[in-house]
Structure 1
């Protein structure tokens, strides 16, 4: 009886302590280091993650808090493709010895892409990204219709794009390459935005969230989402990835994300960085 009573008191104390902890903290999922959620985010990728700040960083911290964990943010440079990023930061680790994270942010939630990466579980869409063009309305009219109509202006005006991106590939090949001479490459969307502010280019093509973040203080420029038929990829949901067998962690993160979205905190995180949150 004494042992039974002691067991009951321990259990009751655990339940009371659990009631005082953040949501989901009483039954924490398995993580690499007790009390810590190690989160991988892209380096130098404003407005999502750059030097310890950004949308993905703030969201990761909020997710960890709801799980009763401390967020350890790991910024890493993008590899040649996202398959490599998932291998390095989620399921295996980097060949230089860097260990993987518990979860990686900013992963496209796409069935075909997920099928190519069966060592990870991709889940939790938290934002719908789209391709857009920021433009100087005094030099570039509203971008609408087919590429032949919407982009005719770029036979005369220069447009900036980030190196090695979908926007770069599209602008170099659309209209049978007619615009190639007026496509200017930059190392980042931020650099392209700075060039546009100086008048060196009249438009910038990139993911809309990056454009909104880059031009949040420059309201004189317009941003148009692209929907033209020639654009193969118009939008994609952004989510998270964990190791394929970490189902409990994926479930806990999904529940925490739902709480964050219901409370309005997710929209506030995006707004604080000058970006409009779009529900996938």
Structure 2
């Protein structure tokens, strides 16, 4: 995983768990209302770079969802791809309510934002809403090399791939006092790790369920399992979207359009197109 800044999302998720347990656009002023968007006929949508299966090379689940939402609003889409910042708050500032100091953004809408109470409280200039998917971390293994899986101990001594600076990497590195650290193989992204798994060069991979499904598919040689990490909520985290706080008309329209996509089955079809099963929050 990445984009949403893996480091930032990891911090958000762990903080939530701790609290529970104890081209380029000229920079525009915040506050574009829907009347201006409707007049232009264009919905500017920010999407993360290199974030398969959600947004990579102008394709992916978030790309298709944004296009479907814009169509329901009678608009066309103009995408603003961008690299994740160090913190989620950076992304919200640069791509939603202010714009980057280099003059890129803001967009009218940012896709793939965790619907997290802590994040919402820390960013009072944006509205985070319309949850459309629940993401979880899973382990996928080559059943020819690891026929049985009871818990993480079943992977002792096995080569496990993870994406650098990801939740999966962070959790696995710290699991059982670093027991698996010497067997972890680091890759630039989850897709690269999963391709090595398919090529027989790894025994397993820890990644987001959506990433695993999109690459491995229904190949019977690979089985996905839930892993209980003490610092990660078992139900994962919920993904939604964000707009400027004062764009409440746009919030209402996008909420209604998202609900329609879900109820009509179109949301599930979009995920299925990319080999992923949607998990409705």
Shorter-chain TM-score bucket reads: 0.7 to 0.9
Decide whether the 8 Å contact of 1:126 with 1:239 is kept in 2. yes
In structure 2, how many angstroms separate the alpha carbons of the residues matched to 1:34 and 1:258? 25
In structure 2, how many angstroms separate the alpha carbons of the residues matched to 1:130 and 1:151? 16
1:221 aligned onto 2:227: no
After TM superposition, the score normalised by the length of structure 2 is 0.84
Query: Which residue in 2 is equivalent to 1:255?
Result: 256
The Cα shift of 1:217 comes to: 6.4
List, as ranges, runs of 4+ consecutive aligned residues in structure 1 with deviation greater than 3 Å: 141-144
In structure 2, how many angstroms separate the alpha carbons of the residues matched to 1:107 and 1:248? 19
Deviation string 1:232-276 (CA, Å, 9 cap, x unpaired) is 233111100001111111111000111111111000000111000
The Cα shift of 1:114 comes to: 0.9
Query: Which residue in 1 is equivalent to 2:201?
Result: 200
Structure with the larger RCO, 1 or 2 (CA within 8 Å, 6+ apart) = 2
The Cα shift of 1:130 comes to: 0.8
Q: Out of 88, 93, 97, which is 1:87 matched to?
A: 93
Decide whether the 8 Å contact of 2:128 with 2:240 is kept in 1. yes
Q: Paired residues, what number? A: 248
In structure 2, how many angstroms separate the alpha carbons of the residues matched to 1:173 and 1:244? 38
Q: Secondary structure at the match of 2:84?
A: coil
In structure 1, how many angstroms separate the alpha carbons of the residues matched to 2:35 and 2:211? 33
1:98 aligned onto 2:104: yes
The Cα shift of 1:30 comes to: 4.4
Unaligned stretches of 5+ in structure 2? 1-33
In structure 2, how many angstroms separate the alpha carbons of the residues matched to 1:240 and 1:102? 11
Q: Secondary structure at the match of 1:118?
A: coil
Query: Which residue in 1 is equivalent to 2:240?
Result: 239
Query: Which residue in 1 is equivalent to 2:118?
Result: 112
Unaligned stretches of 5+ in structure 1? 1-27, 145-149
Query: Which residue in 2 is equivalent to 1:48?
Result: 54
CA RMSD of aligned residues (A): 1.8
Query: Which residue in 2 is equivalent to 1:189?
Result: 190
Query: Which residue in 2 is equivalent to 1:14?
Result: none
Larger C-alpha radius of gyration, 1 or 2? 1
In structure 1, how many angstroms separate the alpha carbons of the residues matched to 2:87 and 2:68? 28
Q: Out of 137, 140, 152, which is 1:134 matched to?
A: 140
After TM superposition, the score normalised by the length of structure 1 is 0.84
The Cα shift of 1:225 comes to: 2.9
